[in-house]
Amino acid sequence: MKICVTGGAGFIGSVMVQMLVKNYPEDEIVCLDKLTYAGNLENLKAVENAPNYKFVKGDIADREFIFDLFKKEKFDVIINFAAETHVDRSVEHPEEFIRTNVMGTTTLLDACREFGIKRYHQVSTDEVYGDLPLDRPDLFFDETTPIHASSPYSAAKASADLFVMAYYRTFGVPVTISRCSNNYGQYQFPEKLIPLMISRAEADEALPVYGTGENVRDWLHVEDHCKAIDLIVRKGRVGEIYNIGGHNERTNLQVVKTILDALGKPESLIKYVKDRPGHDRRYAINPTKIETELGWEPTWNFDTGIRQTIQWYIDNEDWWKRILSGEYQDYFKEMYKDRV
C-alpha cells in the first residue's frame, strides 16, 4: 500500500510515520506536512533515509497542490493528523483553525473522492464531546455521545468530523474516524502541558497551572494511540467512529506534581494562574468498541508512561531546546536544500 500521513512531522504523526516505516517495509509511506511551528523534521531523523519513506512539504488546504499530489502519488490510504491543535491558540486566532481543520479536511476528502482512495482516516479528539462534570466519575464519552464543542479548536475538529461522515453518506468515500483522549510521550511540542512542565521544572522556572488544577484528563500514550489507528485503518469498519482512551484519569495538578516528584523539584514551583475561557472540566473515554471489535488495549499505564516520557525529555534536551530557540525550523532548509 501507499500511505500518506498528513501532519506527519508533528507529535503524534511523526510517531505514526516511524511505526509504519519500520513495521511495514513493503508499504510506501509519504509524510506530508506544511512545517508550521508544530512540524519538526527532526522528529523523523530515524527514518529519513529509509527506502520506503518520503517527505513532501505542503498545505492540505491548498486545493491545486493536493490534487496534483494525489494524481502523481496514487495513494491508497490517507491518515489525516494535519490540524491546528492548541486550544489557547484557537481562542486567539480561530480563523487559522477553520482553514486547516475544516477546509483542509474537505480538500482532502474531495481529492479522495476524485482519485478513489481506499481508506480515509480522520484523527479527531474527545474534545468534540465537550466535557463531563467532576462529580460524576461514572460518566464516560462513547461513540454515541452528542457533539458539544467548547472551544474554537474543538468546534473546528467537530465540524471536520461532520464533513467526513457527510462524505461517507453522500458520496460513499470510505472513511473512519478515531477520537482519542489526551496524548503524551516523545516528540510532543513543548507548549503542551507535560513537556512544558518538564522543561520549566528542569530550568527551575515557575510551573503555570490553570485555576486550581482540578481539571481531569484521560492520558493516552502516543504509541498506544498510533497502534490503535493502525488497527482501525487495516481492520476497522468503514463509516465507523472509534474512541481511543488510556484508562488513566488524572487531574492536571496530579500530573504536575508527578513530574516535580520524578525530577526531585519542589512543589513551590507551582504557580496558579487565571483559568482560560471555556476550560473543559473532565474528559473520560469509554474505549469498549475498539477493544471488543479490534482487540486493542493500551500497553502503557500512566505511572510507567510518564516516567518513560520524562526520561525521554531529559535524554533529548537538545531537541526541545532547539524548539524553544527556534533553531529546529532551519532543519528543513539544511536537509532539503539540494532536493527542492
Q: What is the pLDDT of residues 41-61, one digit of tens each?
A: 999 999 999 999 999 999 999
Enter the C-alpha cell of residue 225.
494511540
Q: Which of 129, 153, 167, 313 is catalytic?
A: 153
Residue 183 main-chain phi, psi, to 5 deg? -90, 155
Please confirm, yes or no, whether 127 is among the known catalytic residues. Answer: yes
Q: What is the pLDDT of residues 293-316, one digit of tens each?
A: 999 999 999 999 999 999 999 999
Q: What is the pLDDT of residue 335?
A: 56
Q: How many angstroms separate the first and last alpha carbons of the chain?
A: 26
DSSP string, 275-300: PPTT---B--B--HHHHHHH------
Instruction: Please answer whether residues 14 and 43 qualify as being in contact, where contact means their C-beta atoms are separated by less than 8 angstroms.
Output: yes
**Torsion angle in degrees (nearest 10) through CA of 217, 311, 272, 128:** -30
Total residues belonging to the chain = 340
What residue has cell string 508512561? 305
What residue has cell string 496530579? 254
For the chain, what percent of residues have pLDDT higher than 70? 96
Please confirm, yes or no, whether 242 is among the known catalytic residues. Answer: no
Please confirm, yes or no, whether 153 is among the known catalytic residues. Answer: yes
Distance CA 170, CA 313 (A): 45
Choose among 193, 157, 158, 159: nearest CA to 85.
Answer: 157
Q: Which of 42, 59, 84, 126 is catalytic?
A: 126
Q: Which of 28, 42, 59, 127 is catalytic?
A: 127
pTM for this model (two decimals): 0.92
